[in-house]
Structure 1
Amino acid sequence: MSKTIVLYYSATGTTKRAAQAVANQLNADLAAIHPVKPYTAEDLNWHDETTRATVEQKQEHDGRVPIEDDLPDLGEYDNVIIGHPIWWGIPPRLIATTIDHLDLNGKVLATFGTSSSTGYDRAQTNVARTVRENGYQLDLQQGDVLNSPARLTAWVNSLNLK
């Protein structure tokens, strides 16, 4: 019997709610990703070019943000789903750090974002590049922005999990 885990990072609670809904639909385990330095509301002010998140997101493709060393062991999981907000069209840089720290070889990986205004194309490209840079051999599923219950259910139903 295959097992699924949903990992997520949520700054405001929106992605957490989506991750919980995905985990419920898939009967999956759920775990949060924690940045070493939590984000404040001021850090997330996208109207200010000098805020922490803006500066981090404008780094080169290999930019990373440190995360806590509390990720679960994926040994018992066949499917890994990672949820994240979309900042400046891509996942927060700590998602690349998370992918770097996981052993995803042989897994099915699916990612999703939450956003009120952005699609998932750039985020999918960003995740695929990070997977490639790590040399993982895995089945990367198409991600989506889960901005409504109907969209969330349709995306979950589209997944080809083990």
Structure 2
Amino acid sequence: MAKTIVLYYSATGTTKKAAEEVAKQLGADIAAIHPVKPYTATDLNWHDQSTRATVEQKQEHDGRVPIKDDLPDMAQYDNVIIGHPIWWGIPSRLIAATIDKLDLNGKVLATFGTSSSSGYDRSQSNVARTVKENGYQLALQQGAVLNSPAALNNWVKSLQLK
């Protein structure tokens, strides 16, 4: 029987709520992604161009934010879903670091974001590029912004998992 895990990073709790609902609907395990250095409210002030998150997000596409080495062993999972906030139009930089750390070969990968203003096209391209850079052979699903119960339900139904 195929097994699924939902990994997520949530700075404000919004992505955590979406991840919990996705995991519930799929009967999946769930685990949080933790940055080595947690973000403060000041770090996340997008109105200030000098804040940590703003500076990180404006790095070149290969920029990474270190994560704690506390992710579950992926060997037991066939499907990996990663949820993240969308910052400045793309996943927070620690998502690329997460994808780098996981052995995703042979798995189905689906990602979703939470945002009040961004679509998912740039995030999908960012994830696809990170997958390609790692040389993973996997089935990458179309991601979505889960900003409403209907969007979440429709996206979960659209997934083609093992």
Q: Which amino acid aligns with 2:115?
A: S
2-side partners of 1:73 and 1:111: how far apart?
A: 18
1:54 aligns with 2:88: no
- 1:67-106 aligned at under 5 Å gives the runs 67-106=67-106
Q: CA deviation at 1:32?
A: 0.2
- Cα RMSD of the aligned pairs, angstroms, is 0.3
Q: Which residue of 1 aligns with 2:157?
A: 157
Structure 1 segments of 4 or more deviating over 6 A? none
Q: Secondary structure at the match of 2:62?
A: coil
| Aligned sequence identity (%) | 83
Q: Which residue of 2 aligns with 1:148?
A: 148
Q: CA deviation at 1:135?
A: 0.1
2-side partners of 1:87 and 1:66: how far apart?
A: 17
- 1:1-150 aligned at under 5 Å gives the runs 1-150=1-150
Q: CA deviation at 1:13?
A: 0.1
What are structure 1's unaligned runs of at least 5 residues? none
Q: Secondary structure at the match of 2:11?
A: coil
What are structure 2's unaligned runs of at least 5 residues? none
Q: CA deviation at 1:161?
A: 0.2
TM-score, normalised to structure 2's length? 1.00
Pairs aligned (count): 162
1:85-117: CA deviation from partner (whole Å, max 9, x where unpaired):
000000000000000000000000000000011
Q: CA deviation at 1:36?
A: 0.3
Q: Secondary structure at the match of 1:44?
A: coil
Q: Secondary structure at the match of 1:81?
A: strand
TM-score, normalised to structure 1's length? 1.00
1-side partners of 2:140 and 2:94: how far apart?
A: 19
2-side partners of 1:146 and 1:66: how far apart?
A: 25
